[in-house]
Amino acid sequence: MRKKLNNTGAGGATRRVTSYDVALAAGVSQSAVSRCFKPGASVSPATQAKVMQAAAALDYIPNAAARSLITRRSNLVAVIVSNLANLYYPQVLSELSEQIARLGKRLLLFTLERETDIGKVLCDVWQYQVDGAIVAACLSDQQIAEFARREVPLVLFNRRSREQAVPAVLCDQAEAARLLVSRLAEAGHRQFAIIDGPGDSAVAQERKAGMLDRLFELGLPAPIVVGGNYDYASGGLGLRKVIDRLGRVPDAVICGNDIMAIGCLDTARQQLGIAVPQQMSVAGFDAMEASGWLSYNITTLRQPIQQMASDAVLMLDRLMARCGGAAEGRRYRSSLVEGATARLAMMAAA
Amino acid sequence: MRKKLNNTGAGGATRRVTSYDVALAAGVSQSAVSRCFKPGASVSPATQAKVMQAAAALDYIPNAAARSLITRRSNLVAVIVSNLANLYYPQVLSELSEQIARLGKRLLLFTLERETDIGKVLCDVWQYQVDGAIVAACLSDQQIAEFARREVPLVLFNRRSREQAVPAVLCDQAEAARLLVSRLAEAGHRQFAIIDGPGDSAVAQERKAGMLDRLFELGLPAPIVVGGNYDYASGGLGLRKVIDRLGRVPDAVICGNDIMAIGCLDTARQQLGIAVPQQMSVAGFDAMEASGWLSYNITTLRQPIQQMASDAVLMLDRLMARCGGAAEGRRYRSSLVEGATARLAMMAAA
DNA sequence: TTGTAAGCGTTATCAA
DNA sequence: TTGATAACGCTTACAA
């Protein structure tokens, strides 16, 4: 038997209401109370009613920590995103949050100021015994292995692992980049310029690689490549650097994302007096909302990020349920949003 | 003594590594291991070394649930945001996340599809015994009271409670709106139009109230007010409705946020051939990044949201530390970003 | 400084 | 269907 119960004494902090208190109030055992809060348990309607009434009266809520201790499931899903991704794709987080809630789980959010902080973050992840994780940041193979070792299901978001087969949702960045280059080349562009994303962005790497690859295949002149960091300013700055290095306006500028494309476009039209797309084509990636605004109507590539986010949670759910489902990565295609900032070749009718 | 330790048997799931395992490996007691992981505990360097080595060898990480059970602190901070806020201010979430991490705590994220979902969400919040909460959503007075009753420190973000004195960071929406109206009126605008934010946005309400209030004070004609929902399309649509209702172009359109202002501006200039600001002024709220882009340069009001987010965490930290600090709300001023989409009166030199 | 032992609030097992 | 009772993995007096 319990020694003392709710001490409403004036002394210190009030004790928390526990299942014992409810049991006492309802005149049943503590384990009966526990069962009443477990969905498919065997309790008589009478007991159920008594307990629920007592629980409501006492404002009782089960303690997740205690439950997690014994069940070994925390109902927590870790979401790890680099700050960049977080800022540029708020919809992803929003979708993840909704879908995770739909599974009856909670979202434990970790953001990385620098991609190198991930070590510390993982330590916290282990402490909280999360049921699974969705990661949109670069993990070393060793770190990926640690997920496996600790039996924490993992789904990568737009990242892949070279060595291991890790469940992932990813969009064909390189393929999309190749498509864009092809269409621009067919339309007669020859001198390309690339305003690249930041060096620590895996997505940016793949996009650039795809472009360079396809340009080479087509036997076109080597493009001017300048660095950028995904923000508005670096789009305009990048364009100036390109023109400086090339000594003239290039035929086409492909930017690592839409924000830079918008920056590039604004600088071209409003500061340098370049006619887009007549004199120069501009394209971006992501089809973010602003890219469709009347003032821009950017030529860009759309990833089905909402779908990807939703599927990532679904995939994680399967992994959490059947402990051993050998889920591979699922791939998505980008679709070209033709916009009005680039001269594109007509496509042959299907 | 413990009955059985790590059963590496082929049978089921491998047991987790616990402090007992580490103790055994290091040849010390389990409590010694616990002490080694507590910052200011009294342990001899020799023991510390032995334990840490054993822990590293076994990949031991303390279990947060077990710790939370006894310490009564989960090191979890709940952040509750309505989906809208989440999408329009990704920086807020980013800043909150960083600052919360700096306190050594973790961010448990709850997003609301509809503001009415908050009841369910709170239930989860109680289960997880969070150490505190930052809420950017509408709470009823009853719900606010529940935080107090359960002794969970609460800081409101850009929301206030009519009845209770709840710690909050909030920006003077009405004051900002009044300022904007004043400056436009001084510059000679007489017929105003308002494209309002969604009905369930507290911030939108306050902005509109401030505008109406000041217009009335100034004895100006009643403005046309049309509904909007904070998105790009509703800016353009709103403008068309305004012109339809008024039978002509108004002198000034004030939009509930920058996105609608951008939508309004694009429609005005590119579809209706209205010269902004010569023929009509347009203004928004929030000073979101896009409002400063060369194509827009919107006249808008900037809230120090980064500062506000950072201060919200600070305020919460103080509440979590001293259990009874009677912290009031802290207020911030919006600053006018003059932009180029509105004709504003010159200010008298200070 | 170290070890012993008593919880923390649940769920799971097993008789009754 | 119910009620004892034993975990779960940790922190924290208290005694040595």
* pLDDT one-digit tens code per residue, A142-165: 999 999 999 999 999 999 888 778
Average pLDDT estimate for B29-36: 96
User: What is the rounded distance in angstroms from the CA atom of residue A42 to the CA atom of residue A156?
Assistant: 39
**pLDDT-derived band of residue A14, with 50, 70 and 90 as boundaries?**
low
Q: What is the pLDDT of residues B84-121, one digit of tens each?
A: 777 778 889 999 999 999 999 999 999 998 878 899 99
B74 interaction partners in chain A (CB closer than 8 Å): 65
Q: Which nucleotide is nearest to B29 (CA to C1')?
A: C3
| Mutation choice for B interface testing from A72, A271, A294, A322 by most B CBs within 10 A | A294
Q: What is the pLDDT at residue B317?
A: 95
Q: What is the pLDDT at residue A325?
A: 61
Contact B106 A87 (CB under 8 A): no
Q: What is the pLDDT at residue A313?
A: 97
Percentage of chain B beyond pLDDT 70 is 93
Q: What is the pLDDT of residues B237-250, one digit of tens each?
A: 999 999 999 999 99
The whole-angstrom distance between B128's CA and the closest CA on chain A is 5
User: What is the rounded distance in angstroms from the CA atom of residue B107 to the CA atom of residue A85?
Assistant: 17
Percentage of chain A beyond pLDDT 70 is 93
- Å from the A327 CA to the D11 C1': 40
Contact flag, residue B63 CB and nucleic strand D, below 7 A: yes
**Residue A115 vs residue A229, higher pLDDT:** A229
Contact A106 B90 (CB under 8 A): no
Average pLDDT, chain A: 92
User: What is the rounded distance in angstroms from the CA atom of residue B91 to the CA atom of residue B309?
Assistant: 9
Q: What is the pLDDT at residue B87?
A: 74
B293 interaction partners in chain A (CB closer than 8 Å): 232, 262-263, 266
| Mutation choice for A interface testing from B97, B239, B282 by most A CBs within 10 A | B97
Average pLDDT estimate for B247-273: 98
Q: What is the pLDDT at residue B7?
A: 43
Q: What is the pLDDT at residue A39?
A: 87
B8 interaction partners in chain A (CB closer than 8 Å): none
**Nearest residue to nucleotide C11 when comparing alpha carbons to its C1'?**
A70
Contact flag, residue A123 CB and nucleic strand D, below 7 A: no
Average pLDDT estimate for B16-28: 95
B14 interaction partners in chain A (CB closer than 8 Å): 151
**pLDDT-derived band of residue A348, with 50, 70 and 90 as boundaries?**
low
Q: What is the pLDDT of residues B207-240, one digit of tens each?
A: 999 999 999 999 999 999 999 999 999 999 999 9
Which window residues (42-81, chain A) lie with Cβ within 7 Å of strand D?
A: 42-44, 46-47, 66, 69-70, 72
Footprint on protein of nucleic strand C, Cβ below 7 A? A 3, 15-16, 18-20, 30-31, 34, 37-38, 60-63, 66-67, 69-71; B 28-32, 35, 42-44, 46-47, 66, 69-70
The whole-angstrom distance between B215's CA and the closest CA on chain A is 31
Q: What is the pLDDT at residue A10?
A: 36
**pLDDT-derived band of residue B346, with 50, 70 and 90 as boundaries?**
confident
Q: What is the pLDDT of residues B306-325, one digit of tens each?
A: 999 999 999 999 999 876 66
Q: What is the pLDDT at residue B105?
A: 97
**pLDDT-derived band of residue B348, with 50, 70 and 90 as boundaries?**
low
β-bridge mates for residue B107, sequence order: A109, B77
Q: What is the pLDDT of residues B275-310, one digit of tens each?
A: 999 999 999 999 999 999 999 999 999 999 999 999
B295 interaction partners in chain A (CB closer than 8 Å): 266, 270, 295-296
Contact B13 A151 (CB under 8 A): yes
- Nucleotides of chain C in contact with protein CB (under 7 A) are 1-5, 7-13
Q: What is the pLDDT at residue A347?
A: 66
**Nearest residue to nucleotide C3 when comparing alpha carbons to its C1'?**
B29
**Residue A12 vs residue A75, higher pLDDT:** A75
**Nearest residue to nucleotide C8 when comparing alpha carbons to its C1'?**
B70
| Mutation choice for A interface testing from B259, B295, B320 by most A CBs within 10 A | B295
- The highest-confidence range among A89-93, B165-169, B191-195, by mean pLDDT, is B191-195
User: What is the rounded distance in angstroms from the CA atom of residue A178 to the CA atom of residue A196?
Assistant: 15
CA dihedral in degrees (A14, A19, A21, A22; nearest 10)? 130
The whole-angstrom distance between A221's CA and the closest CA on chain B is 32
- For A256, other C-beta atoms within 10 Å of its C-beta total 30
Domains within chain A, CATH numbers bracketed: 10-70 (1.10.260.40), 72-171+305-335 (3.40.50.2300), 173-302 (3.40.50.2300)
CB A286 within 8 A of CB A336: no
**Residue A2 vs residue A339, higher pLDDT:** A339
How many residue pairs bridge chain A and chain B with CB atoms within 8 Å of each other?
Answer: 138
